[in-house]
Amino acid sequence: MADYGNLGDVAGKRVLVRSDLNVPLDGTTITDDGRIRASVPTIRSLAEAGARVVVTAHLGRPKGAPEERYSLRPVAARLGELLGTDVAFATDTVGESARSTVDGLADGQVAVLENVRFNPGETSKDDAERSAFADQLASLADAFVSDGFGVVHRKQASVYDVAQRLPHAMGALVATEIDVLRRLTVDPARPYVVVLGGSKVSDKLGVIDNLLGKADKLLIGGGMVFTFLKAQGHEVGKSLLEDDQLDVCRAYLQRAEESGVEILLPTDIVVDTAFPSGDRTPEPRVVPATEIPSDALGLDIGPDSGAAFAAALADAETVFWNGPMGVFEVAAFAEGTRAVAEALTKVPGLSVVGGGDSAAAVRTLGFDESAFGHISTGGGASLEYLEGKELPGIQVLED
């Protein structure tokens, strides 16, 4: 029998799959298809089991109305290439096109619906509006499979409400992601080292609060560094800074000292006088982290810091890394990220890379994905999991 988890035999059934196909695009060119590839196994196994697979997903953050640049059409085409089969595409989310596309599916065929965020009901904070949209989505299917791990922290119609309306199951990707992240929260093998970077500073400070009680070492790079350096009384020039988080950073440094957790900040920084853009040739300079000139901004951790971070990772049994160490998209500021990625490939224990940009960095810098224990498709979702927050898209499956 063609079983899919607790859904039983799915042959001939219309199965709505929520995937996270939110990939970076340059025009209509997909610059990193990692999330599409990660979504393939669940879609393929349902199709092979004879289901009529209806994929719903978002791309970017459109404001509840169609916008050509956020169309999933190129993503559906790439999915078809990866599956090695034609994938039908509906030009709306739950309208005429969606209905006729789903009606036209034979057993084992796959369709992708247009960007679910083109409908204002998807992300609405108004329960009635979200419910009405979820009713329409649910009417397109007989069962629901939740496989968009990157979006399970969102209480949105296609993630949360639709699961309340249909027999549902957790997809293989979500199950794998949760399994790996659980190993980071429940009795992780030690030493447990966490590396944090990137630019969404205030989003990520919350995770530090939780990790101070769990990790043995915390390595901080990327745009997060400067709020910490400033909190220690150093000048940071024009670097990324969240002034309203200075007290929070000071409190973390204090708590780390009291609880014996080692927080490693970079000792040298690669600076430039302007953020890289257009044709301007970067003019990188390495300066001590405590002496960032007033006209400069920090764009990467320096070589000494890269080596120190690598050394701190050398004996790690568990590592979680989120957020690049610098503006890795520009070669002059990619070396810190490369040093950390390289070190992660050598750790003796479990290494997890979490976050859309971190995963893209690893791939664009040419690392083989198999050199890492796990590359998570979730940025915000994996952080919220590690923060100990309840994820609505998981909780609804367990209810």
Ligand X SMILES: Nc1ncnc2c1ncn2[C@@H]1O[C@H](COP(=O)(O)OP(=O)(O)OP(=O)(O)O)[C@@H](O)[C@H]1O
Ligand Y SMILES: O=C(O)[C@H](O)COP(=O)(O)O
* 356 assigned binding-site residue: yes
Residues near 144 by beta carbon (within 8 Å), at least 6 away in sequence: 15, 16, 17, 18, 138, 162, 163, 165, 166, 167, 168, 169
Q: Is 35 a catalytic residue?
A: yes
E strands, 190-304, in order: 192-196, 217-220, 262-264, 268-272, 285-288, 297-301
| Interface region with ligand X, contact rule CB under 6 A, candidates 27-35, 256-264, 286-294, 317-325 | 317-325
| Interface region with ligand X, contact rule CB under 6 A, candidates 91-99, 227-235, 279-287, 325-333 | 325-333
Cβ closer to ligand Y: 109 or 158? 158
| The binder of ligand X chosen from 358, 363, 374, 392 (CB under 6 A) | 358
8 A C-beta contact, residue 357 and residue 379: yes
169, 165, 147, 167: which is closest to 157 by C-alpha?
165
Integer Cα distance of 54 and 94 in angstroms: 11
Q: Is 69 a catalytic residue?
A: no
| The binder of ligand X chosen from 34, 50, 148, 222 (CB under 6 A) | 222
| The binder of ligand X chosen from 171, 188, 223, 392 (CB under 6 A) | 223
Q: Running DSSP on this structure, what letter comes out for residue 3? A: B
Which residues sit at the interface with ligand Y, rule CB under 6 A? 20, 22, 61, 150-151, 154, 356, 379-380
The item of ligand X, ligand Y, none sharing an interface with residue 34, based on CB under 5 to 8 Å by kind, is none
Q: Is 230 a catalytic residue?
A: no
Dig out the tokens for 290 from the structure: 């405590």
Under the binding rule (CB under 6 A), the answer on residue 50 touching ligand X is: no
Per-residue b or e along 38-76, where b marks 16 or more CB atoms closer than 10 Å to that residue's CB: bbbebbbbbbebbbbbbbbbbbeebeeeeeeebbbebbb
Under the binding rule (CB under 6 A), the answer on residue 200 touching ligand X is: yes
Q: Report the relative pairing of strands 52-56 and 14-18 from DSSP bridges.
A: parallel
| Interface region with ligand X, contact rule CB under 6 A, candidates 122-130, 135-143, 165-173, 322-330 | 322-330
Q: Which of 44, 73, 183, 200 is catalytic?
A: 200
303, 341, 307: which is closest to 197 by C-alpha?
341
Under the binding rule (CB under 6 A), the answer on residue 198 touching ligand X is: yes
Q: Which of 222, 326, 356, 393 is catalytic?
A: 356
Cβ closer to ligand X: 5 or 282? 282
The phi and psi torsions of 259 (rounded to 5 degrees) equal -95, 5
Catalytic residue IDs: 35, 200, 356, 380
Footprint of ligand X on this chain (CB under 6 A)?
A: 197-200, 222-223, 240, 298-299, 322-324, 326-327, 329, 355-358, 379-380
